[in-house]
Copies of this chain bind each other. A is one copy, B any other.
Amino acid sequence: MKIKKIQSFYSDKVCVVKVTSEDGAFGFGQCAPKNADITQLILHKQVCPHVLGQDDGDFSIADKVILKEYKFTGSYIARAVSGIDTALWDLKGRREKRSVASIIGKKRERIMLYGSSKQREIPVAQEIARMQKLRNERGYGAFKLRGGMVNGNDMENWPGHTEDLIQQCHKELGPHVELYVDANGGFSVERSQQLLEILEKNNVKFLEEPCPYWEIDKTKEIKNAFAGKGVLIAAGEQEYMFSRIKRLIKEQAIDVFQPDICCIGGFSRAYAASRLAANEGIFTTPHCSTNTMLFPFSIHLMAVVDKPWRAMEHVIESEPWAEKVLKAQPEIKDGYVRVPEEPGWGFEPSSSWLSGARVAVSE
């Protein structure tokens, strides 16, 4: 069926996309959060003209749009086209009365979550206190901490912060809680190597984006230095160009690949990239930094990838602007979330959020 109408519902932070076909079938998707008002403009100006009239079952649309807009490669086009691809999967699922994961081939029924902190300026004792509370309430078996500073050239928020955070968290949360550390590009190769022993001794299973993400060679250098020590290297959330993704994967620069479904250009591209990763023995676990529609998208991805990392990111911050996009949040029990069996994503945007959003239409 041909795609007939594309509506965007947007605030400054989030842009939900509704795609409707000529037979009236529809689905909801979402672009990557932040600057969503600009993403929405790009969606209608540079994406919709290539999508309207196309077959709603063509999941290469995202690739085609990115190719057509080759003069504007970058985060924005991928953010915008993600809204289309994710809406098309929902549409297909609703039409066929199957969940997205079932259509592709569901490999697991529930997904382990790790509690993901977004704060690196929080006092260590306070970070531990909220993690202990959440461990009791939600049963998380793993947490991700924030080390270093964002692209911070080895700087620390205060002297010894990263080391202290890791050691205290391990001590207070106990040996049964796995830790991950996200450096957001904060470290050099040398600093990463210097941290290795502390990471090893404190049950840290992966170090994420140790150095700036665009430095693939340095990422690989760190990965090689860490090889065999039980601390893996994770990255991938910033990627939207397959030429770079292939380098990360084929050159074995990482151990754990973390595509962001709304930043890479949609579910189809994230899944395709996860297969490339699995072929090279690399784990996948999606970057899921907001509890918007990205959360259910990510659950479905984890349900179908060939080589999943054992836990998926779940943001522990309270962010009403994000959480209110969904009609209901997926339920977390004993640190796990169920893979939805309902049609499409199994979760849809809240009607009150939609009715409060600005709207634009292409048809």
Binding site for B on A (CB under 8 A): 34-35, 38, 41-42, 45-46, 67, 70-77, 150-151, 185, 212-216, 238, 240-243
Contact = CB atoms under 8 A, between A and B. Distances in A.
A10 to B, nearest CB: 14
B151 A70 contact: yes
- Work out how many copies of this chain go into the complex: 2
A319 to B, nearest CB: 16
A360 to B, nearest CB: 14
Contacts of A214: 73, 241-243
B243 A216 contact: yes
A216 B247 CA distance: 11
Contact of A70 (B42, B238, B241, B243): B238
Given A35-B45, A38-B45, A73 B72 contact: no
Contact of A38 (B34, B41, B151): B41
B38 A73 contact: no
Given A35-B46, A38-B38, A45-B38, A238 B71 contact: yes
Contacts of A241: 214
16 contacts: A35-B45, A35-B46, A38-B41, A67-B151, A70-B151, A70-B185, A70-B212, A70-B238, A71-B75, A72-B75, A73-B74, A73-B75, A74-B74, A74-B75, A74-B76, A214-B242
Q: 8 closest A-B pairs (Cβ-Cβ)?
A: A74-B74, A214-B243, A74-B75, A72-B75, A76-B76, A38-B41, A73-B75, A74-B76
A67 B153 CA distance: 12
Contacts of A216: 243
A70 B67 CA distance: 22
A243 B217 CA distance: 10
A356 B305 CA distance: 54
Nearest to A42: B38
A76 B73 CA distance: 8
Contacts of A151: 67, 70
A50 to B, nearest CB: 14
A77 B150 CA distance: 19
A243 to B, nearest CB: 4
Contact of A71 (B34, B67, B72): B34
Nearest to A242: B214
Contacts of A215: 243
B35 A72 contact: yes
Contacts of A72: 35, 74-76
Nearest to A46: B35
A76 B35 CA distance: 13
Nearest to A78: B74
Nearest to A217: B243
Contacts of A77: 74
